[in-house]
Amino acid sequence: MQLSFLKCHGSGNDFPLIDARALALSDAEWAGTARALADRAGPVGGDGLLLLTAGDGECAFGMRMFNADGSEAETCLNGLRCVARAGFEALGVDRATVRLKTSRAEVARDAELAPGVVTVRTVVGPNSVAAGDVGLKIGAAQVIEAAVPGLPSARAFTAVAMPNPHLVTFVDHVDEAELVALGSWCEAGPALIPARANVSFVEVRGPADLFVRTFERGVGLTDSCGSAMAASVLAAGLTCRVPFDTQVRVFNKGGMVRGQAHADRVVTISGNASFLYDARVEVDVAAARAVVPVIQARRDDEAAAWSAALAALV
């Protein structure tokens, strides 16, 4: 099967993005396509597969996101910004309501993070701090700055659903080996959290600066996870580390976004939606394999603008 795609990234979280509004593949076929195109050892690679899907009476367009292992996520904020931009350009609009797997999102163009960096603002949610919504099988109604019974870590966590599940803990220094060990334990789908969870270690680096490192469900250790950054902003507010209604800079290995959490748990995130190249590729969906893509157009100006923005952050 031949497919056209756009390679894009949000805060270093990179994806092949397919305009699927006129395509009729089954969930199993999309899962196979995701395994083929997002395979880091394959010819494209990515943190997952993004789909721009058709709108309905309430939403201008929709988004689906398949992880690199073929599982489908409830949301992906870094990917949402890229899909939002694709939808804006397809429909000639600057803001929209987007249908997600289990919810909706409000998206709009925003002031540039840096010169030449296309920036999109997303309102994150619906959010929840109910343990059941996070998928935790525990007696407590919620977990905010507390140990999680049964979790192989004595650290204090804050559990939030964005709506995908997140366990956030604040640390003096990120220990990646510890993060990977705990993330891998959650990735196995234990009885404590059978649907798995994203795990983030967060450093507070200033009055309104956070650094986030995440083991992402279905992906592993990633340079960036948009919903984890949003979860970390909310957790910082819930634990009084950063006052609500304060604009926060959230750094990760992929770059930086602007975030803000409010007392009603509404979170907004603004970050880049950078397009890198347009291509076509032959995919064997059943075997989850792809050949080397044919690149049709490169967007070197956007890549250069993002590189300059990263250099300015160092």
Considering the candidates 8, 59, 76, 186, report the single residue annotated as catalytic: 76
Band of residue 314 on the pLDDT scale cut at 50, 70, 90: low
Band of residue 73 on the pLDDT scale cut at 50, 70, 90: confident
Domain span holding position 49: 2-104+274-313
Kindly state whether residues 138 and 254 are assigned to the same domain. yes
The reply to whether 34 falls in a domain is: yes
Considering the candidates 8, 59, 82, 225, report the single residue annotated as catalytic: 225
Kindly state whether residues 160 and 227 are assigned to the same domain. yes
What does the pLDDT average to over 126-138? 94
Kindly state whether residues 179 and 256 are assigned to the same domain. yes
Q: What is the CATH number of the domain that holds 286?
A: 3.10.310.10
Domains held by the chain: number: 2
Q: Which residue type, as a one-letter code, is found at position 227?
A: S
Kindly state whether residues 161 and 285 are assigned to the same domain. no
Residue percentage of the chain with pLDDT more than 70: 99
Kindly state whether residues 138 and 38 are assigned to the same domain. no
Is position 76 annotated as part of the catalytic site? yes
Kindly state whether residues 209 and 254 are assigned to the same domain. yes
Last residue of a domain, one of 253, 271, 289: 271
The reply to whether 188 falls in a domain is: yes
Is position 59 annotated as part of the catalytic site? no
Band of residue 57 on the pLDDT scale cut at 50, 70, 90: confident
Q: Rg of the chain's alpha carbons, rounded to an integer?
A: 18
The reply to whether 121 falls in a domain is: no
CB 290 within 8 A of CB 284: yes
Kindly state whether residues 282 and 221 are assigned to the same domain. no
**d(C-alpha 56, C-alpha 98), whole Å:** 10
**d(C-alpha 158, C-alpha 36), whole Å:** 35
Prior bond to 163 cis, omega within 30? yes
What does the pLDDT average to over 273-298? 96
The reply to whether 87 falls in a domain is: yes
Mean pLDDT across the chain, nearest whole number? 94
pLDDT of residue 163: 84
Kindly report the pTM of this predicted structure: 0.86
Kindly state whether residues 64 and 167 are assigned to the same domain. no
pLDDT digits (tens, 9 = 90+) for 279-289: 999 999 999 99
The reply to whether 118 falls in a domain is: no
Kindly state whether residues 255 and 136 are assigned to the same domain. yes
Kindly state whether residues 225 and 135 are assigned to the same domain. yes
pLDDT digits (tens, 9 = 90+) for 231-261: 999 999 999 999 999 999 999 988 899 999 9
